[in-house]
């Protein structure tokens, strides 16, 4: 998450000091953040804020995954109000007072991750997190937060109000996992869980409850369900892998496991591993992926080189000179993940192994 980065903006000297503390916290969490402030308050590590705030917010609103506004909440609300679109596409917006006493999740608390980010920042700077979403106050995950955590796509967003209302009102909710879809049980303990093979079986179960959530590997037609029902579709998540010639399979497995832990993913959520086709005869790679129990896909240098994507890290001159393309793991993961893919984890290096993780629709 936050592959496009996080922007922190302040308009006072004290706010800049707080912003630097926020950035240090995000750096420690492995999150990329850029601070902006007026020229008279800028210093090392702070970019100059040259536009008026409404123009700045409009320019950055969809270029970053999260906006942290270190100023009065009213200023932030007035600046972002004209930009609001949908809880499924708006970035996380967080308000922090200039002295850093309170960190407020303002927008996209669940699906955009503002609630989680607010807690991370508050813990790091010694502030009080302010979370007001209804499901948070009851200690239960909303459907949109569940989708974010499990990397699922919400097929029918219009159902969210009714299903989330049932959760908040402590009505009987069932989560049905269809077919070979996988759900880490530690994230769904607040729901009753059932497994089915067909849509007919699924709807029959949901009709015994007040509302239902379906996790499915494919798109479903649930308009006939008499109960509020949200369908969550499994996204394709792919690990891109690169390695030096002398790297062992054990090192590769450790690299993949560390990358999954960093991204908050389990091996069961991964569809496949992808790499460059010059590694087709690499026995360590073949052995490592076989031991992980995943399919292995190979891509040509020409296909990798052809990819243009905003999430890509700068090319490596050494890799470019060696194999003819400036990077393997990010490109391979993004291509195999498919339509509208994005990086969940940029390339990470560990003992001769480079790993990236991407998800598609």
Cα 320 to Cα 244: distance, rounded to the nearest angstrom? 14
Q: How much helix, strand and coil, in percent to the nearest 5, is found in the chain?
A: 40, 25, 35
> Is the per-residue pLDDT at 137 higher than 70?
no
Q: Which two tokens stand for residue 31?
A: 């999150």
Give CA 282 to chain center in angstroms: 32
- 168, 135 Cβ separation under 8 angstroms: yes
Which of 66, 158, 74 lies closest to 109 in space, CA to CA? 66
Give CA 325 to chain center in angstroms: 27
Query: Which CATH class for the 139-234 domain?
Result: alpha beta
pLDDT confidence of residue 135 = 64
pLDDT digits (tens, 9 = 90+) for 296-315: 999 999 999 999 988 888 88
CATH no. for 237-359: 3.30.420.180
pLDDT confidence of residue 303 = 95
> Is the per-residue pLDDT at 10 higher than 90?
yes
- SS3 call for 67: strand
Percentage of the residues of the chain whose pLDDT score is greater than 70:
97
Segments making up each domain of the chain, as ranges: 6-132, 139-234, 237-359
Cα 358 to Cα 341: distance, rounded to the nearest angstrom? 6
Work out the average pLDDT over 194-200: 93
With bands split at pLDDT 50, 70 and 90, how would you rate the model's confidence at 204? very high
Please count the CA atoms within 13 angstroms of the CA of 338 that sit on its side-chain side: 8
- CATH 3.40.50.11220 is held by the domain 6-132: yes
- SS3 call for 255: helix
Supply the pTM of this predicted model: 0.67
- CA-CA-CA-CA dihedral for 19, 357, 90, 185, to nearest 10: -100
Work out the average pLDDT over 144-154: 86
Which one is predicted more confidently, 141 or 231? 231
Q: What mean pLDDT, rounded, does the chain reach?
A: 90
> Is the per-residue pLDDT at 349 higher than 80?
yes
Cα 361 to Cα 157: distance, rounded to the nearest angstrom? 15
Q: Which two tokens stand for residue 74?
A: 């009213």
């Amino acid at each position: 998450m936050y592959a496009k980065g996080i922007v922190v903006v302040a308009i006072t000297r004290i706010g800049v000091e707080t912003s630097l503390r926020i950035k240090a916290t995000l750096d420690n969490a492995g999150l990329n953040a850029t601070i902006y402030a007026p020229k008279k308050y800028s210093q090392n590590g702070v970019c100059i804020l040259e536009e008026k705030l409404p123009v700045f917010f409009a320019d950055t609103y969809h270029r970053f995954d999260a906006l942290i506004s270190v100023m009065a909440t009213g200023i932030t609300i007035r600046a972002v109000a004209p930009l609001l679109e949908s809880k499924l596409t708006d970035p996380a917006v967080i308000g922090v007072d200039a002295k850093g006493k309170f960190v407020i999740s303002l927008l996209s608390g669940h699906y955009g991750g503002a609630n989680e980010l607010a807690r991370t920042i508050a813990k790091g700077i010694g502030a009080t997190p302010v979370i007001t979403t209804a499901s948070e106050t009851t200690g239960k995950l909303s459907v949109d937060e569940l989708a974010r955590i499990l990397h699922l796509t919400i097929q029918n967003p219009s159902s969210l109000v009714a299903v989330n209302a049932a959760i908040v009102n402590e009505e009987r909710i069932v989560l049905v996992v269809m077919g070979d879809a996988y759900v880490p049980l530690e994230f769904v303990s607040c729901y009753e869980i059932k497994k089915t093979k067909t849509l007919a079986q699924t709807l029959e179960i949901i009709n015994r409850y007040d509302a239902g959530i379906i996790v499915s590997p494919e798109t479903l037609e649930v308009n006939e369900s008499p109960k509020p029902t949200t369908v969550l579709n499994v996204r394709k998540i792919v690990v891109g892998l690169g390695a030096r010639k002398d790297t062992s399979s054990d090192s590769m497995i450790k690299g993949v496991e560390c990358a999954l832990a960093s991204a908050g993913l389990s091996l069961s959520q991964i569809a496949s591993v992808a790499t460059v086709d010059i590694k087709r005869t690499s026995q360590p790679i073949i052995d490592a992926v076989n031991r992980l129990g995943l399919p292995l896909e190979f891509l040509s240098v020409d296909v990798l080189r052809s990819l243009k994507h905003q999430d890509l890290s700068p090319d490596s001159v050494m890799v470019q000179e060696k194999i003819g393309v400036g990077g393997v793991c990010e490109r391979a993961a993004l291509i195999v993940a498919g339509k509208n893919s994005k990086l969940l984890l940029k390339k990470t290096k560990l003992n001769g192994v480079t790993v990236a993780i991407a998800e598609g629709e």
